[in-house]
A and B are shown apart, each in its own frame.
Chain A
């Protein structure tokens, strides 16, 4: 009966899964790497996304150095609109905090969550996907069941209960670092499912049989034979998980379970709503953080499409 679900495995999820089909999985070689670079430099989408992300990363790295204000330092200049004065580029909050300083520090946290949370999710998703797809049999059945269970449980609801308990019993855990770990540990299921489907289709190819005949062990076959042959797919998976982790973390922060000491873009929006920025009309408090998240995640999605076209000749615009 699994056939009912198969068409979705690689292509069904709206933006959650790369659209690459199995035929896009091609053996990388020196020549094709050169080719990838050739098409990458000609893909408008890819270059646009890299430019946006590059700009945001630079802002996250150097922003806190340019504007050295403490993002949580309260001043008397309350609710100042954005101006060209240094330290007031994005205005101030109801407590006189520097919004620009909060924004660049929050951007740092956003990239951190994406990198660590997305990284952990990719790692778990790949491990489960590879093992389930390669081993097959009851291991596959079991891992599939686990994946399906965690696929249905809404990530945010689970994180909600965990984080709310943690905030009392272990307040130190309420930082960006632990948040990233929690997000990573819960965001992997669809990746596991997609990678399992890909691995499954590679498993019966001749070169895998050859590797088995030559006496290679399962783990080595996965790492050296299967993974390199779907490296583009794995990369797309990581990019999407990166973006998903950012969005999940932002929701968590916005609900009021964000970092207590640091700054994040979701926390900025939480503070803005909590302190009635909407009723005061202080738009500069909540416009930058959302715009920052939208630009980051949007650029990641566009990059995903661009890379997909680069790796998959079928999708290329000629």
Chain B
């Protein structure tokens, strides 16, 4: 058990180390002078006198520590990282990047977690029921493929247009109404839920197709295998055979969830942009518009940490669900 999780944790630590290093390297590898870019953006290059301009260049160089040797810059990066200091956000008007991101994280998690869990549960159930049943299979499979092929933002746009714009059942944008203040009142909470529903539902729908198809394929594969055939030959009822097939088919689906996390997070980002939902996606959108690189790099690290944590949870779930891994860990043979 310890060996298994130790190995996993080591992989994640290395991943984080590499990701953070990439994060640090990218601005330094890019062609062009970052300070010149900053000067250009703030208009410092044209409106200021040469002395003032030089002073500003000096200021920025000191701020980013670009005049120090590379190894010192790299060490400094890790030191501030461990202090949770990711710099200041231009978009957030000088607020700390960490705080800006933290304010957005609850919205994103509030979309992601229910959408993932619900689509995973329903998708796997649909897929399992549909497998090897002509009529259901012929209807669920095409719908599933259509849904997985849909770009996340487009389904969001269509939902927003049909449900939000044409019928006006749900608000089109924002995390809560402009006329409300965050408070623990019934009015605010119901408004929060009304704004939450459409981005959640569009994320949920796109994911649903993928899980249904994956499960359907796995169940068919399991129903073809020897143990299913043997059970059938013994005269076991169909329901029992399917139950065993489902339990085996579930395992690759769990690994599939871990592999899909990156895609799902990307989907949440673009969905939030469609609905101007105040999560990480909207933050990315604004950071790019205002060329807020500190914020972007901070978001990158946050996403990595989130995905790594989710991966680790999936690892734990896998051990709980699959008894064989537990037996193997205790040194027995499955």
Contact = CB atoms under 8 A, between A and B. Distances in A.
Interface string A293-306: 11111101110010
Contact of B15 (A149, A257, A296): A149
Contacts of A301: 145, 148-149
Contacts of B211: 14
Given A8-B259, A293-B154, A169 B32 contact: yes
A217 B80 CA distance: 50
Contacts of B154: 269, 286, 289-291, 293-294
B228 interface: no
Nearest to A148: B11
Contacts of B161: 278, 281, 283, 286
Given A145-B11, A164-B293, A153 B145 contact: no
Interface string A145-162: 100110111111110111
A287 to B, nearest CB: 7
A215 interface: no
A7 interface: yes
Contacts of B37: 168-169
B73 interface: no
Contacts of B192: none
B149 A294 contact: yes
A251 B151 contact: yes
A298 B11 contact: no
A165 B18 contact: no
B136 interface: no
B77 interface: no
Interface stretch (B50-58, B91-99, B229-237, B304-312): B304-312
B130 to A, nearest CB: 14
A255 interface: yes
Q: How large is the interface on B (under 10, 10 to 19, 20 to 34, 35 or more residues)?
A: 35 or more
B109 interface: no
A154 B265 contact: yes
B317 to A, nearest CB: 12
What does DSSP make chain B's interface, helix, strand, loop or mixed? Answer: helix
Contacts of A256: 285, 288-289
B43 interface: no
Interface in B209-264: 210-211, 213-214, 217-218, 220-221, 224, 251-253, 255-256, 259-263
Interface in B280-334: 281, 284-285, 287-289, 291, 293, 296-297, 299-300, 303-304, 307-308, 311, 318, 322, 325, 328
B274 A149 contact: no
Given A153-B304, A157-B303, A301-B145, A251 B3 contact: no
B296 A162 contact: no
Interface string B263-280: 101110110011000000
Interface of A: 1, 3-5, 7-8, 11-16, 19, 21, 145, 148-149, 151-158, 160-162, 164-166, 168-170, 190, 243, 247-248, 250-251, 254-257, 266, 269, 272-273, 278-279, 281, 283, 286-287, 289-291, 293-298, 300-302, 305, 314-315
